[in-house]
Structure formats: structure tokens, C-alpha cells
Amino acid sequence: MELFQIMVVCVLVGIVASLGNALFHLSSGKGDSRKMVRALTIRVGLSVGLFLLLIGAWTMGIISPHGMQP
């Protein structure tokens, strides 16, 4: 379970880093939008990969959803 949590945190850090990279390229004003688009594409890919990872872990029984406790 600890390895799975580390993987999820690493992917989340990658998503935030890619978003920050895109923001940097947007605000630098050099006119090179290809780098910004590439960073956003990586962010979307990581987000979809994280979603598939969570669905796969739920299907295999590694994680389980739980309701709110009253």
C-alpha cells in the first residue's frame, strides 16, 4: 500500500510541476507556445494516467472506496 501511495504522490507532483512549467512559458512572453502546449499535454496525460491507475487499483482491490462516517 505504501508503494501505491508514493506512486500517486509522485504523479500529483508531476502534474503540478507540468502546470507550473506551462504557466512559466505563458508568462515569459517569448512567443513560443509549443513549449506551453507540450507542458499542458503532459499534464493531461499524467491526469488521465492517474485516473486509470486509481481505477485499476480499485478493480484489483488495492484500494477501496468508503463512505463518510456519521
- DSSP per residue over 17-59, as a string? HHHHHHHHHHHH-SS-HHHHHHHHHHHHHHHHHHHHHHHHHHH
> Over the stretch 33-56, which tens digit does the pLDDT of each residue have?
888 889 899 999 999 999 999 999
> What radius of gyration do the chain's Cα atoms show?
16
Q: Tell me which residue has cell 507550473.
A: 20
Q: What is the pLDDT of residue 32?
A: 72
> Over the stretch 7-40, which tens digit does the pLDDT of each residue have?
999 999 999 999 999 888 888 877 678 888 898 9
Give the span between the Cα atoms of 46 and 10, in whole angstroms: 10
Q: What is the pLDDT of residue 54?
A: 93
